[in-house]
Amino acid sequence: MIELTEVAQSAIKQALEKGATDAECTITEGQEFSASVRMGEVETLKEAGSRGAGLRVLIGKRMGSSYTSDLTPEGIRQMVASAVDLARLTTEDPMSGLPDPSELGSIPGDLQLFSDEVAGLSTDRKIDAAKRAEAAALSFDPRITNSEGGSFDSNIAGRVFANSRGFAGSYRSTYCSLSAVPVAAQNGNMERDYWFTLARDFSGLESPELVGRTAAERVIRRLGAVKVETQRVPIIFEPRMARTLLNNLFDAVQGTAIYRQASFLAGKIGQKIASDKITLIDDATLQGLFGTQPFDDEGVPSRRTPVIEKGVLKSYLLNTYTARKLGMKTTGNASRGITGNAGIGHGNFFLEVDPNYAKAPEQILAGVKNGFYVTELIGSGVNTVTGDYSRGAVGLWIRDGELAFPVSEVTIAGTLQEMLTGVAEIGNDLEFRGSVSAPTIMIGEMTVAGR
């Protein structure tokens, strides 16, 4: 990483020599491995490493950027020349610029993002995990007759960031994941579903048998799905689907959408926008989790930002540029790959569960006479400008507090505004499986469109 930090600093120095007034450089490196098995046999093995560098330069208030996969001195020299040339062609943007030096920094301590174990895992052990996950799914029920396989993925990544205002930092991270995708058939109709586990190291994964069994249970309960009549009913989102609502909310609270007034939450800071039960947090400082990092992609230290507290909108998620546009301070949410300008990302973005009103999922279910428990959503029918929401849904119909029969080929629709204020119950089943996490959520009423 020291070597790559020097490459980044050299790129910045060259940019300043060529007339840039400020510059920042990101370098990433990664080694990926993936193994997939299908019907007990290895299907693919993939292994490789790659690196890339991205540079953003400012000449006064004009900005240009470039990237390369060629980290040789000649490759870096061309990247620098390209960014500086482009900065002379763009328009002055009064709000452009790097963070103030006082805003730069990195949070201390071991964030537990890296495990030495991952590099030393044998290929056989990884294939074995994928095989066992798939086998557990296939043996669960005779109706599971086919499979899209089991797979194991691991990744070792490094990231370097440096800028002309004196910041230089780097960190490494690892992850492993294991998944199974069984296919079940009944009366000539097929369904598939999946389950996965994700951890910073191999030992943090759920057992392959549990992954396979969970995937199998999920696909079996989908068999024999019917379309229901169009009606308005309570909707329960299982945690995996409740997470998708948080993704929609992220799109609506990120600074670019806010300053462009392209969000139904623009201008709503301090207002009650959701049920009292909603407290939404962004926190990139939590040890070992998947949204954790020591600093953001502009070199601003990670932090905890309450976005919604007891239904009141408290903060947007901002990088330096969007903060300046809004007359606010960055929240340390700059995010970028190696190409282009910094956008906005989230850390660990989750609904906080208050034990005073969180309920066990079964208890929430027990309170519903006639409703829809959603286990999968498809399509892109969420408009965060207006809040209009309409997506294809799969799940289980609720009758008298119990999951009665599977449902598919229907949609659920409403508006995000009504859904937020209509949150009736929150589950106590929050778990961090990825960087966005939510418990079971029940919404008072939405339109299910079917027959």
Which position among 180, 412, 416, 443 is part of the footprint of another protein (CB under 8 A)? 412
- In three-state secondary structure terms, 59 is strand
Beta bridge partners of 393: 377, 410
Q: Does 399 bind another protein (CB under 8 A)?
A: no
Taking CB under 8 A as the binding criterion, the range among 109-117, 236-244, 302-310, 443-451 that sits at the site for another protein is 443-451
Residue 181 in contact with residue 147, Cβ under 8 Å? yes
Residue closer to another protein (CB basis): 92 or 354:
92
Among 92, 100, 362, 402, binds another protein (CB under 8 A): 92
Instruction: State which residue, 101 or 340, has the beta carbon closest to another protein.
Output: 340
Residues in the chain: 451
Of the residues 97, 105, 392, 401, which one makes contact with another protein according to CB under 8 A: 392
Q: Which of 64, 255, 361, 427 binds another protein (CB under 8 A)?
A: 64
Stretch in the footprint of another protein (CB under 8 A) among 87-95, 235-243, 281-289, 301-309: 87-95
| Phi, psi at 361, each rounded to 5° | -55, -35
Using alpha carbons, select from 429, 371, 438 the residue that is nearest to residue 403.
371
Of 51 and 304, which CB lies nearer to another protein in the complex structure?
51
Q: Does 306 bind another protein (CB under 8 A)?
A: no
Site for another protein in 183-202 (CB under 8 A): 183, 189-192
Task: Quote the CA–CA distance of 262 and 411 in Å, as a whole number.
Answer: 25
The residue from 408, 435, 437, 440 that contacts another protein (CB under 8 A) is 408
User: In the window 313-332, what residues touch another protein (CB under 8 A)?
Assistant: none
Name every residue whose Cβ is closer than 8 Å to that of residue 209 and which is 6 or more positions away in sequence.
Answer: 132, 133, 136
Beta strand pairing call for 436-437 and 348-351 = parallel
- CB 120, min distance to another protein, A: 17
Q: What is the largest CA-CA distance in the chain?
A: 73
Residues within window 219-278 making contact with another protein, judged by CB under 8 A? 222, 225, 227, 230, 260-262, 264
Within 274-303, the residues that bind another protein by CB under 8 A are: none
The beta-carbon contacts of 81-86 under 8 Å, at least 24 apart in sequence, are 81/18, 83/15, 83/20, 83/23, 83/55, 83/56, 83/57, 84/15, 84/18, 84/19, 84/20, 84/57, 84/59
Work out how close the CB of 140 gets to another protein at its nearest, in angstroms, rounded to a whole number. 17
Which parts of 340-369 interact with another protein (CB under 8 A)?
340-341
Q: Cα 53–58–64 angle (5° rounding)?
A: 55
Q: Is 102 in the site for another protein (CB under 8 A)?
A: no
